Amino acid sequence: MNNCLCIFKKELRSYFSSPVGFVFIIFFILVSNAFFFFVQDFFRQGQVTMRGYFAVLPWIFLFFVPAITMRLWAEEKKMGTIELLLTMPLKETEVVFGKFLASFAFLAITLLFSLTVPITMFYLGTPDVGVILGSYVGSLFLGSAYLAIGLYISSLSENQVVAFIISLAVIFVLLLVGIAPLYLNAIGSFASVCEYVSLLSHFNNITRGVIDSRDVIYYVSVIVLFLYLNVKTIEARKWK
Amino acid sequence: MIHVEGLTKRYGQSLAIDNISFHINKGEVVGLLGPNGAGKTTTMKILTCFISATAGKASINGHDTFDEPLQVREQIGYLPESCPLYHDMDVSQYLSFAAEIRGIAPDKRGRAVSRVISDCDLSKVTHKMIGHLSKGYRQRVGLAQALIHDPKVLILDEPTSGLDPNQIRDILDLIKNLGQEKTVIHSTHILSEVEATSDRVLIINNGHIVAQGTPRELMARSSGTTVFLTVKGQDAQAQLAAAEFVKKAEKIGDGKDGFVRLALQAVEQRDVALDVFQMAVTKGWQLTELKAETASLEDVFAKLTRG
Domain identity same for B44 and B150: yes
Angstrom distance (rounded) from CA B53 to CA B73: 16
Look at residue B245 and tell me whether its pLDDT is greater than 90.
no
* CB contact (8 A) between residue B74 and residue A89: yes
Look at residue A238 and tell me whether its pLDDT is greater than 80.
yes
A17: nearest CA in chain B? Answer: B88
- B227 Cα to chain A: minimum distance (Å): 50
Among the partner-chain residues B11, B48, B82, the one whose CB lies closest to the CB of A87 is B48
Whether B144 and B122 have beta carbons less than 8 Å apart is answered as yes
Question: What is the rounded average pLDDT of the residues A7-14?
Answer: 94
Question: What is the rounded average pLDDT of the residues B20-31?
Answer: 92
Which has the higher per-residue pLDDT, A42 or A159? A159
The model's pTM is: 0.87
Range of the domain at B287: 222-306
Tell me how many domains chain B contains: 2
Angstrom distance (rounded) from CA B9 to CA B45: 11
Domain identity same for B203 and B97: yes
Angstrom distance (rounded) from CA B10 to CA B20: 13
Domain identity same for B114 and B211: yes
Best A6, A13, A87 residue to mutate vs chain B (most B CBs within 10 Å): A87
Beta bridge partners of B248: B265
Domain identity same for B168 and B296: no
CATH number for position B93? 3.40.50.300
Look at residue A185 and tell me whether its pLDDT is greater than 80.
no
Whether A132 and A26 have beta carbons less than 8 Å apart is answered as no
Q: Which residues of B touch A6 (CB under 8 A)?
A: 97, 100-101
Whether B224 and B278 have beta carbons less than 8 Å apart is answered as no
pLDDT given for residue A162 in this prediction: 97
pLDDT given for residue B293 in this prediction: 75
* CB contact (8 A) between residue B88 and residue A89: no
pLDDT given for residue A190 in this prediction: 76
Whether A21 and A68 have beta carbons less than 8 Å apart is answered as no
Domain identity same for B234 and B127: no
Rounded to 5 degrees, what angle do the CA atoms B163, B164, B168 make?
70
Look at residue A78 and tell me whether its pLDDT is greater than 80.
yes
- A240 Cα to chain B: minimum distance (Å): 6
Domain identity same for B78 and B208: yes
**Last residue within a domain, chosen from B179, B195, B220:** B220
Question: What is the rounded average pLDDT of the residues B279-293?
Answer: 84
Domain identity same for B255 and B292: yes
pLDDT given for residue B231 in this prediction: 86
B73: nearest CA in chain A? Answer: A89
Q: What is the pLDDT of residues B101-154, one digit of tens each?
A: 999 999 999 999 999 999 888 999 999 999 999 988 999 999 999 999 999 999
B72: nearest CA in chain A? Answer: A89
Range of the domain at A61: 2-169+215-239
Question: What is the rounded average pLDDT of the residues B209-218?
Answer: 84
Domain identity same for B226 and B101: no
Quickly state the pLDDT bin for B87 (edges 50, 70, 90).
very high
* CB contact (8 A) between residue A240 and residue B11: yes
Q: Which of A169-183, B35-49, B75-89, B269-283 has the lowest mean pLDDT?
A: B269-283
Farthest-apart Cα atoms in chain B, separation: 83
* CB contact (8 A) between residue B103 and residue A83: no
Question: What is the rounded average pLDDT of the residues A88-107?
Answer: 96
A77: nearest CA in chain B? Answer: B84
Q: Is A228 a domain residue?
A: yes
pLDDT given for residue A10 in this prediction: 94
- A147 Cα to chain B: minimum distance (Å): 22
Angstrom distance (rounded) from CA B307 to CA B286: 38
Tell me how many domains chain A contains: 1
Look at residue B224 and tell me whether its pLDDT is greater than 70.
no
Rounded to two decimals, the ipTM of the complex is 0.88
Domain identity same for B50 and B184: yes
Q: Which residues of B touch A (CB under 8 A)?
A: 11, 45, 48-52, 70-71, 73-74, 76, 78, 80, 82, 84-89, 97-98, 100-103, 145
Beta bridge partners of B225: B294
Among the partner-chain residues A82, A89, A239, the one whose CB lies closest to the CB of B70 is A89
pLDDT given for residue B104 in this prediction: 93
CB atoms within 10 A of CB B48: 26
Among the partner-chain residues B11, B84, B88, the one whose CB lies closest to the CB of A17 is B88
Angstrom distance (rounded) from CA B108 to CA A25: 37
- A67 Cα to chain B: minimum distance (Å): 18
Q: What is the pLDDT of residues A124-169, one digit of tens each?
A: 888 888 889 999 999 999 999 999 999 999 999 999 999 999 999 9
Q: Which residues of A touch B94 (CB under 8 A)?
A: none
Quickly state the pLDDT bin for B268 (edges 50, 70, 90).
low
CATH number for position B259? 3.30.70.1340
10 Å CB burial of residue B122 (0-12, 13-18, 19+) is: buried
B55-60 β-sheet, strand order = B14-24, B2-11, B55-60, B63-64
Q: What is the pLDDT of residues B184-195, one digit of tens each?
A: 999 987 878 888
Quickly state the pLDDT bin for B63 (edges 50, 70, 90).
very high
**Last residue within a domain, chosen from B190, B220, B250:** B220
Which has the higher per-residue pLDDT, B273 or B63? B63
A5: nearest CA in chain B? Answer: B101
pLDDT given for residue A38 in this prediction: 85
Which span out of B16-30, B211-225, B285-299 was modeled with the highest average pLDDT?
A: B16-30
Which has the higher per-residue pLDDT, A190 or B63? B63
* CB contact (8 A) between residue B73 and residue A87: yes
* CB contact (8 A) between residue B78 and residue A91: no
Beta bridge partners of B129: B90
What is the helix (H) or strand (E) element at residue A13, kind and residue range? helix A2-16
* CB contact (8 A) between residue A237 and residue B101: no
* CB contact (8 A) between residue B84 and residue A90: no
Domain identity same for B253 and B226: yes
**Last residue within a domain, chosen from B220, B247, B270:** B220
B225-232 β-sheet, strand order = B246-254, B260-266, B225-232, B286-294
Q: Which residues of A touch B130 (CB under 8 A)?
A: none
Best A1, A13, A83 residue to mutate vs chain B (most B CBs within 10 Å): A83
Angstrom distance (rounded) from CA A93 to CA A4: 9
AA letter at A195: E
Q: Is A65 a domain residue?
A: yes
Q: A-B interface: how many C-beta pairs under 8 angstroms?
A: 68
Domain identity same for B93 and B197: yes
Q: Is A107 a domain residue?
A: yes
* CB contact (8 A) between residue B73 and residue A18: no
Q: Is A204 a domain residue?
A: no
Look at residue B270 and tell me whether its pLDDT is greater than 70.
no
Domain identity same for B53 and B181: yes
A240: nearest CA in chain B? Answer: B11
List of residues 6+ apart from B19 with CB closer than 8 A: B6, B7, B8, B55, B56, B208
Cα distance from N-terminal residue to C-terminal residue, chain B = 32
The DSSP output letter for A114 is T
